[in-house]
Amino acid sequence: VTALDQQARKILRGNDRGGYTVPTDGLYPYQWNWDSAFAAWGFAQFDVERAWAELETLVSGQWSNGMIPHILFHKPDPGYFPGPDVWGTEGKGPVLSSGITQPPVAATFALATHEADPEAGLPRLRALYPKLRDWHRWFMTWRCEDGMIFVTHPWEAGRDNCPDWDTAMAAIDPVGVGEYTRRDTSHVDPAMRPTKEDYDRYIWLVQRGKRLGWDDAAMADDMPFKVADPTMTFILLRACRDLGRMADLLGEDRAEIDGWIDRLTEGAGRLRNGKGVFDAINLNTGAHSGHLSCASYLCWYAGIESEDMLACLDKAFEDTPYTIPSHAFGTEEFNPKRYWRGPIWGILNTLTGIGLAEMGHEDRAARLRRATADLIAEHGFAEYFDPLTGEPAGGGTFTWTAAIWLAWAS
Ligand code: DGY
């Protein structure tokens, strides 16, 4: 156990609020869905019991339609906006929550937690399994078109302000959004965060969901924001494979899951644009975004090979001192500091590295892992990093950066 391992464990312990972990103190004071699943994976490296508790608290917020929300508001915190009153989801789930979901990495990290202590973990896995299956089924019912998973709010994909959403965001006129006070920019330099134009639309979409009572059918009728997303499609495809492995371990029937895997595999192929790059599709226009992003590289994680993407990755290694930028270097939109428009996110590097290694690209996987480890060792456990200078950006002492250090990078 090195000094950095100790530091990473201390961050996880420090961000523990009792059964769940906040992404970082201040900026994100609640339980976030995929942050929490990464936290479980980090805890599984030294405290398996705590890892199970994290996942169990996450699924405790599941709605009756199967959706597991992107934020669970366990305790009020005035330091965050938009809080529960803005979302207006009372009565939808057992815990106050947001009304949208987030990338479903939980099944994958539940399986990893089980592997850390299989015998003791089997009953825990058995209890989680139907909840994760119902969540995946909700995705396939309400968020799937032609085998592609689409998002209905930029926050759903986790990549809040990435250029993949620009055309869909521009088509929204956030009329009537009213006055509100952002809290994020009091914690972090506004130049590292989404713009006011972005926030007006984020809040406008939340107000619309609230007005429609977060009813899936009502919301699906006419979606102002509907973008097929490589993050969600690749991650769900991967998570369904892991859910299938779980079903095998538990002796459950997996036919339905295999059907999802087939549909998603076909859908993932549709995300490939004319240049062979996996990108997003604005389903309200049918147009590909044309953007190479960190989500494009998740193909291997989903078990999909691509020579074009290998070539993009090799170029990305040469383009900037640090890899992988969340949006391709040398493009008009690239911004090394602004959240998902350029900065490096360790969790995306991790999923990409896992996929590369599994698909036989061990050299590239090792290179990416080393690069990510160096970034953390030199610049700390930041939320994200500037790909030109390596400088830390966003929140500090960040849970998922500590988690990937322990589980993958170190
Ligand atoms: C935020 O508040 O910035 C989050 O990304 C929303 O999930």
Instruction: Give tens-digit pLDDT for 261-308.
Output: 999 999 999 999 999 999 999 999 999 999 999 999 999 999 999 999
- pLDDT for position 31: 98
- pLDDT for position 354: 98
Q: Does 383 qualify as catalytic in the annotation?
A: yes
Going edge to edge, which strands form the sheet with 281-282? 144-145, 148-151, 227-228, 281-282, 287-288
Q: What is the mean pLDDT of residues 81-106?
A: 97
Burial environment of residue 119 by CB neighbours within 10 A (0 to 12, 13 to 18, 19 or more): exposed
Pocket of ligand 1 (CB under 6 A): 70, 155, 160, 184
What's the angle, vertex CA 344, arms to CA 341 and CA 347, rounded to 5? 115
State the DSSP string of 283-299.
TTTTEE----BGGGGGG
DSSP summary character for residue 16: B
Tell which atom from ligand 1 comes closest to the C-alpha of 194: 3
Q: To the nearest 10°, report the CA torsion of 194, 332, 164, 281.
A: 160
Tell which atom from ligand 1 comes closest to the C-alpha of 193: 3
What is the spatial distance between Cα 188 and Cα 192, in angstroms, rounded to a whole number? 7
What is the spatial distance between Cα 137 and Cα 130, in angstroms, rounded to a whole number? 10
Q: Model confidence at 338, in pLDDT bands (50, 70, 90)?
A: very high
Q: What is the mean pLDDT of residues 18-46?
A: 98
Pocket test for ligand 1, best of 151, 155, 181, 193 (most atoms within 8 A of CB): 155
Q: To the nearest 10°, report the CA torsion of 346, 152, 256, 350.
A: 0
Spacing, Cα 213 to ligand 1 middle (Å) = 21
Q: Are 124 and 52 in contact (CB under 8 A)?
A: yes
What is the spatial distance between Cα 220 and Cα 213, in angstroms, rounded to a whole number? 12
Residue whose Cα lies nearest atom 6 of ligand 1: it is: 155
| Residue type, position 28, single letter | Y
Residue whose Cα lies nearest atom 7 of ligand 1: it is: 155
Tokens of 205: 């979409």
What is the spatial distance between Cα 102 and Cα 96, in angstroms, rounded to a whole number? 16
DSSP summary character for residue 123: H
- pLDDT for position 135: 99
Per residue in 41-61, pLDDT (tens digit) is 999 999 999 999 999 999 999
Spacing, Cα 73 to ligand 1 middle (Å) = 13
What is the spatial distance between Cα 165 and Cα 153, in angstroms, rounded to a whole number? 9
Spacing, Cα 196 to ligand 1 middle (Å) = 14
Place of tokens 């305790």: 75
Q: Model confidence at 88, in pLDDT bands (50, 70, 90)?
A: very high
Q: Which CATH class is domain 3-409?
A: mainly alpha
Q: Model confidence at 170, in pLDDT bands (50, 70, 90)?
A: very high
Per residue in 186-209, pLDDT (tens digit) is 999 999 999 999 999 999 999 999
Looking at every residue in the chain, the average pLDDT score rounds to: 98
| Own/partner long-range contacts of 270-273 (Cβ < 8 Å, ≥24 apart) | 270/146, 270/147, 270/148, 270/228, 271/148, 271/228, 271/230, 271/233, 272/306
Q: What percent of the chain has pLDDT over 90?
A: 100
Tell which atom from ligand 1 comes closest to the C-alpha of 27: 2
Tell which atom from ligand 1 comes closest to the C-alpha of 80: 2
Residue 100's region, left for phi above 0, alpha for psi from -120 to 50, else beta, is beta
What's the angle, vertex CA 359, arms to CA 409 and CA 321, rounded to 5? 45
Per residue in 109-167, pLDDT (tens digit) is 999 999 999 999 999 999 999 999 999 999 999 999 999 999 999 999 999 999 999 99
Q: Does 198 qualify as catalytic in the annotation?
A: no
Kindly name the residue from 35, 54, 156, 160 that is annotated as catalytic.
160
Per residue in 351-384, pLDDT (tens digit) is 999 999 999 999 999 999 999 999 999 999 999 9
Spacing, Cα 155 to ligand 1 middle (Å) = 6
Length of the chain: 410
DSSP run (H or E) holding 132: helix 118-142
Please determine, for the modelled complex, whether the ipTM score is greater than 0.85.
yes
State the DSSP string of 330-380.
TSTT--SSSTTSS-B-HHHHHHHHHHHHHTT-HHHHHHHHHHHHHHHHHH-
Spacing, Cα 156 to ligand 1 middle (Å) = 9
- pLDDT for position 366: 98
Spatial CB neighbours of 46, under 8 Å, sequence gap ≥ 6: 9, 406
Q: What is the mean pLDDT of residues 72-87?
A: 97
Q: Are 347 and 311 in contact (CB under 8 A)?
A: no
